[in-house]
């Protein structure tokens, strides 16, 4: 709905420009000049469809261009132009957000020591989570080992393995597998955070250096 409205507004503005140019030319004895798709120039006392199609200049009786009207865009071109405008607006917003974040970072951390301390604290928190996961995994692996030991006793005595023990082993294996995946994920996040922090610290240094060079 919004896209259709934008196209309608663009078309209305283009038509308005054409009408205004036509009225101005008629009132002041002006002519129209445009170049067609083959690069050939054209002049006319009235506004033609080709002039609107290719874009035109309004020329006064002295041969000077007093107004330029852009050519009429196709629906595809309008859509492409709208997409490009949206991308440019998004990039501009991202740049503004980044600038605000940089200002806040510099204000919050007046020196490199304080900034590095905050980064190290973030890694320390992640290390603590990893340590907790390792302890939990070790405990669950021990529980699985005990269940497997009980199963081995049944097999040694040539007894059938009870269903509750089979179910317990299967469940415990699932718990261990989930914890292993969690630990792997946490370690990967920690590695990514360390790499990101190296980049953040380099940016902090560059921003602080630039700030210190300002008069």
- What is the DSSP code string of 171-210? HHHHHHHHHHHHHHHHHHHHHHHHHHHHHHHHHHHHHHHH
Stated pTM of the model: 0.58
Task: Answer for the pair 123, 194: CB distance below 8 angstroms, yes or no.
Answer: yes
Task: Provide the CB-side half-sphere exposure for 69 (13 A, CA).
Answer: 29
Task: Provide the CB-side half-sphere exposure for 177 (13 A, CA).
Answer: 6
> What is the structure's pLDDT at 125?
97
Strand order in the sheet with 65-69: 41-44, 31-35, 56-59, 65-69
Closest CA to 124 of 190, 198, 204, 189: 190
Q: How many CB atoms lie within 10 A of CB 104?
A: 10
Task: Answer for the pair 71, 54: CB distance below 8 angstroms, yes or no.
Answer: yes
Residue spans of the domains in the chain: they are: 2-72, 110-213
pLDDT digit string (tens) for the chain, length 215 residues: 444 444 444 444 444 554 454 445 444 567 888 788 788 888 888 888 887 878 888 988 887 888 888 877 778 888 998 999 999 999 999 999 999 999 999 999 999 999 999 999 999 999 999 999 999 999 999 999 999 999 999 999 999 999 999 999 999 999 999 999 999 999 999 999 999 999 999 999 999 999 888 77
Task: Answer for the pair 172, 140: CB distance below 8 angstroms, yes or no.
Answer: yes
């Amino acid at each position: 709905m919004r896209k259709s409205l934008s196209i309608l507004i663009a078309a209305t503005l283009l038509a308005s420009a054409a009408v205004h140019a036509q009225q101005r030319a008629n009132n002041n004895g002006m002519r129209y000049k445009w170049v067609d798709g083959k690069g050939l120039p054209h002049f006319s006392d009235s506004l033609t469809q080709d002039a609107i199609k290719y874009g035109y200049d309004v020329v006064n009786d002295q041969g000077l261009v007093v107004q330029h009207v852009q050519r009429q865009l196709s629906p595809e071109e309008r859509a492409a132009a709208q997409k490009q405008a949206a991308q440019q607006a998004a990039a501009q917003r991202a740049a503004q957000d980044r600038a605000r974040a940089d200002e806040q970072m510099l204000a919050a951390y007046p020196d490199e020591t304080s900034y590095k301390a905050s980064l190290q604290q973030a890694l320390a928190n992640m290390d603590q989570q990893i340590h907790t996961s390792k302890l939990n995994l070790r405990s669950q692996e021990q529980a699985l080992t005990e269940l497997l030991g009980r199963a081995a006793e049944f097999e040694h005595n040539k007894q059938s393995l009870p269903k509750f023990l089979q179910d317990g082993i299967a469940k415990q294996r699932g718990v261990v597998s989930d914890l292993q995946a969690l630990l792997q994920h946490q370690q990967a996040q920690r590695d990514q955070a360390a790499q990101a922090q190296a980049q953040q610290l380099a940016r902090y240094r560059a921003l602080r250096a630039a700030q210190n060079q300002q008069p």
